[in-house]
């Protein structure tokens, strides 16, 4: 165990060195982040498919409970129940276009994680950094519970719980709890908790900040820097349901899964549930007493309870949907929390976009109109009116506009188009449009996924660490 503790301390020092200009010390956040003595109790696991290159390289790292797919390198790291998912990495021969430049890749892209601590973190998509198109790097970084690093090379940074960095290169930054940033490239920046910032320079800039005293009900940090609030409580209530799927070597296949849909081996599904054709349910998703119609998906860390998704719904990483009815085409963004109640259900109209990190927590029935954009904290009809706008109205904005705590400037049509294009792309790569053997995606390809485990050292100086190993075809 001594080597694991030494590695932990060294990584914390390296992150602090990178953040010295911000005068930000990650040590208090790291102190209670994991129970070191439990790191030996969890295996790591990795997937093999015929559709993704296999090249996994683990060196001097602890990988407890983490999952790997595709081409990944992990060196001098501590990962705890994180997902490093390289199923959408760029391939040799692909072209990558950015800022008017087009480059043909000479090698397959690799997720390269070094000198970092990632706790219950999702790493996914491909690098959007034009300077390093073949390396999705994460170095000298500490991320807390349920953070998302999505297509975002990251160096020398800290992410608080439920923080998301999306399609952005980040260097020497601090991203506060429950903040979402999609801004192309940022450096030496500290982002307050509950900041939702979507910026495409020269095109549009969307900014919303949660009132801090209201955000604390959902996610805050104790004096010991331990996450507290409704979001954590909601997840922890369901953690025991995952024990069986992770502890059992084999599970019975469910006959109710259509041939064109995929239910991950490490997802939890509880009666009664029903899924249609071309549905994708990813690892660590939780589905209970719900219906997912044709082409819908539940991505990693999604929780869907007593809800009906009619079809072609995107439930992005970490979204939570409870006592809710979604019409076709609804997009639920990263880490959003749609929390209807048994006698106060939430209904969301067709093609509406729920922005990342939105909280809808109601005690009376509420209907969100079709073709709207929705953001922020919504607990009643009045807050819905303040924190939503018809897509057509937003698309007509040129210049600056404010609505409640939301501030926008630029070309609204470009923001709406960017979201619509991205939603279509997500459905496409997930296999939602599969028909007659064409347009296959993750929902079909993941059926050919085999899973394997790696065991840590159980005693001695290396207790909790993993052997240095390279896994090739």
Q: Domain of residue 340: give its range.
A: 256-446
CA gap 189, 173 in Å, rounded: 5
Q: Are residues 423 and 458 in the same domain?
A: no
Rounded to whole angstroms, the Cα distance separating 470 from 162 reads: 31
Give the end-to-end CA distance of the chain in Å, rounded to a whole number: 32
Cite the beta strand spans of 253-364 per DSSP E.
262-263, 268-270, 274-275, 280-281, 286-288, 291-292, 297-298, 303-305, 308-309, 314-315, 320-322, 324-326, 331-332, 337-339, 346-348, 353-354, 359-361
Strand, coil or helix: 6:
helix
Kind and range of the H or E run holding 7: helix 2-18
Do 435 and 456 belong together in one domain?
no
**Do the Cβ atoms of 394 and 409 come closer than 8 Å?**
no
Is residue 174 assigned to a domain? yes
d(C-alpha 302, C-alpha 298), whole Å? 6
Q: Are residues 465 and 439 in the same domain?
A: no
Contacts (Cβ under 8 Å, ≥6 apart) of 243:
none
CATH number, domain containing residue 173:
2.160.10.10
Does 460 lie in the same domain as 399? no
Alpha helices in 19-59 (DSSP H): 27-31
| Residues in Cβ contact with 448 at an 8 Å cutoff, skipping those fewer than 6 apart | 49, 50, 51
In this structure, the answer to whether residues 74 and 23 fall within a common structural domain is yes
State whether 62 and 103 are in the same domain: yes
Q: How many domains does the chain have?
A: 2
Whether residue 441 is preceded by a cis peptide bond, meaning omega within 30 degrees of 0, is: no
How much is the pLDDT for 252? 60
Q: How open is the CA angle 127-196-407, to the nearest 5 degrees?
A: 125
Question: Does residue 423 lie in a domain region?
Answer: yes
In this structure, are residues 8 and 158 in contact, taking their beta carbons and an 8 Å threshold? no
Residue 271 and residue 210 share a domain: no
| Domain assignment of residue 146, yes or no | yes
pLDDT at position 250: 58
Same domain, 211 and 315: no
- 421 and 467 belong to one structural domain: no
d(CA 174, CA 142): 10
In a domain, 245, yes or no: no
- Do 216 and 345 lie in one domain? The reply is no
pLDDT at position 61 is 98
Q: Which residue has the tokens 């003595």?
A: 37
The 3-state DSSP composition of the chain as helix, strand, coil percent (nearest 5) reads 20, 35, 45
Q: List the pLDDT tens digit at each of the 473 positions of the chain.
A: 689 999 999 999 999 999 999 999 999 999 999 988 899 999 999 999 888 889 999 999 999 999 999 999 999 999 999 999 999 999 999 998 877 788 899 999 999 999 999 999 999 999 988 888 999 999 999 999 999 999 999 999 999 999 999 999 999 999 999 999 999 999 999 999 999 999 999 999 999 999 999 999 999 999 999 999 999 999 999 988 888 777 665 556 665 799 999 999 899 999 888 999 999 999 999 999 999 999 999 999 999 999 999 999 999 999 999 999 999 999 999 999 999 999 999 999 999 999 999 999 999 999 999 999 999 999 999 999 999 999 999 999 999 999 999 999 999 999 999 999 999 999 999 999 999 999 999 999 988 889 899 999 999 999 999 999 999 98
Cα(334)–Cα(178) distance, rounded to whole angstroms?
10
Local structure of residue 72 (DSSP, 8 states) = E
Question: Are residues 317 and 333 in contact, defined by beta-carbon separation less than 8 angstroms?
Answer: no
Residue 248 forms part of a structural domain: no
422 and 301 both lie in a single domain:
yes
| 28 in any annotated domain | yes
> Is there a domain that residue 321 lies in?
yes
User: For residue 46, is it within any domain?
Assistant: yes
Residues 309 and 388 in one domain: yes
Give me the phi and psi of 446, to 5 degrees please: -65, -15
Q: Are 62 and 75 in contact (CB under 8 A)?
A: no
* Residue among 172, 168, 195 nearest 184 (CA): 168
């Amino acid at each position: 165990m001594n080597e694991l503790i030494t590695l932990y301390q060294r990584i914390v020092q390296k992150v602090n060195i990178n953040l010295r200009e911000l005068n930000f010390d990650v040590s208090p956040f790291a102190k209670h982040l994991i129970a070191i003595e439990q790191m030996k109790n969890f295996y790591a696991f990795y997937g093999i498919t015929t559709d993704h290159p296999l090249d996994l390289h683990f060196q001097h790292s602890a990988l407890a409970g983490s999952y790997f797919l595709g081409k990944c390198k992990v060196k001098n790291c501590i990962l705890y129940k994180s997902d490093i998912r390289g199923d959408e990495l760029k391939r040799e021969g692909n072209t990558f276009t950015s800022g008017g430049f087009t480059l043909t890749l000479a090698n397959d892209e690799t997720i390269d994680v070094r000198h970092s601590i990632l706790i219950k973190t999702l790493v996914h998509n491909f690098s959007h950094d034009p300077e390093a198109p073949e390396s999705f790097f994460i170095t000298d970084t500490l991320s807390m519970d349920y953070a998302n690093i999505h297509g975002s090379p990251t160096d020398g940074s800290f992410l608080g719980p439920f923080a998301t960095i999306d399609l952005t290169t980040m260097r020497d930054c601090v991203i506060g709890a429950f903040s979402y940033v999609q801004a192309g490239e940022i450096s030496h920046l500290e982002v307050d908790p509950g900041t939702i910032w979507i910026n495409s320079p020269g095109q549009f800039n969307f900014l919303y900040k949660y009132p801090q005293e209201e955000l604390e009900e959902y996610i805050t940090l104790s004096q010991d820097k331990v996450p507290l609030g409704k979001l954590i409580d909601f997840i922890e209530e369901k953690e025991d349901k995952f024990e069986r799927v992770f502890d059992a070597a084999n599970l019975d296949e469910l006959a109710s899964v259509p041939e064109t849909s995929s239910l991950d081996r490490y997802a939890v599904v509880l009666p009664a549930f029903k899924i249609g054709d071309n549905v994708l349910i990813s690892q660590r998703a939780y589905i209970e007493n719900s219906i997912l119609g044709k082409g819908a998906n539940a991505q990693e860390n999604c929780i869907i309870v007593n809800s009906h998704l009619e079809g072609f719904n995107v439930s992005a990483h970490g979204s939570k949907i409870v006592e809710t009815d979604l019409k076709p085409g609804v997009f639920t963004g990263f880490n959003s929390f749609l929390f209807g109640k048994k006698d106060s259900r939430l209904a969301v109209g067709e093609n509406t976009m729920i922005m990342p990190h939105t909280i809808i927590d109601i005690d009376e029935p509420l209907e969100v109109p079709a073709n709207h954009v929705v953001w922020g904290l919504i607990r009643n009809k009045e807050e819905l009116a303040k924190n939503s706008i018809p897509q057509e109205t937003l698309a007509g904005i040129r210049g600056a506009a404010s609505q409640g705590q939301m501030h926008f400037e630029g070309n609204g049509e470009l923001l709406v188009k960017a979201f619509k294009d991205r939603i279509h792309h997500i459905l496409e790569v997930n296999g939602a449009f599969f028909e007659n053997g064409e347009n296959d995606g993750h929902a079909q390809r993941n059926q050919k996924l085999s899973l394997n485990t790696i065991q840590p050292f159980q005693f001695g100086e290396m207790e909790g660490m993993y052997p240095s190993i390279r896994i090739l075809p």
